[in-house]
């Protein structure tokens, strides 16, 4: 995935451009949905068994730099129609 940060006149844009079908499908899941964004402190690290874990509650545990931050985009859950 190609990524870019574009800043002009005080407006910041994060641009994600998919390069294969997997990335296109991943981005399509955000179409026409309410989105929330948050910045989380923490880091991701490899662990045994091939898993990747996020370390965000214990920044001094030795698994990453406590100054690491991640931008997280989430779709809102669909509201029930009851």
Query: What's the rounded mean pLDDT across residues 47-63?
Result: 63
Domain boundaries, the chain: 1-32, 34-77
> What pLDDT score does 40 carry?
74
Give yes or no for a contact between 29 and 75, defined as CB atoms under 8 angstroms apart.
Answer: yes
Confidence of residue 2 (pLDDT cuts 50, 70, 90): very high
> What pLDDT score does 19 carry?
97
pLDDT at 65 over 70: no
pLDDT at 63 over 90: no
pLDDT in tens, 21-40: 999 999 998 898 888 888 87
DSSP the chain: -EEEEEEETTEEEEEEE--SHHHHHHHHTTTTS-EEEEEEE-EEEE-GGG-EEEE-S-TTSSSS-TT-EEEEEEEPPPPP--
């Amino acid at each position: 995935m190609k990524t870019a940060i574009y800043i002009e006149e005080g407006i910041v844009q994060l641009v994600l451009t998919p390069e294969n079908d997997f990335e296109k499908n991943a981005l399509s899941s955000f179409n026409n949905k309410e989105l929330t964004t948050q910045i989380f402190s923490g880091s991701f690290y490899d662990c045994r068994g091939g898993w990747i874990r996020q370390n965000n509650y214990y920044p001094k545990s030795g698994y990453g730099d406590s100054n690491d931050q991640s931008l997280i985009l989430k779709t809102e859950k669909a509201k029930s129609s009851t």
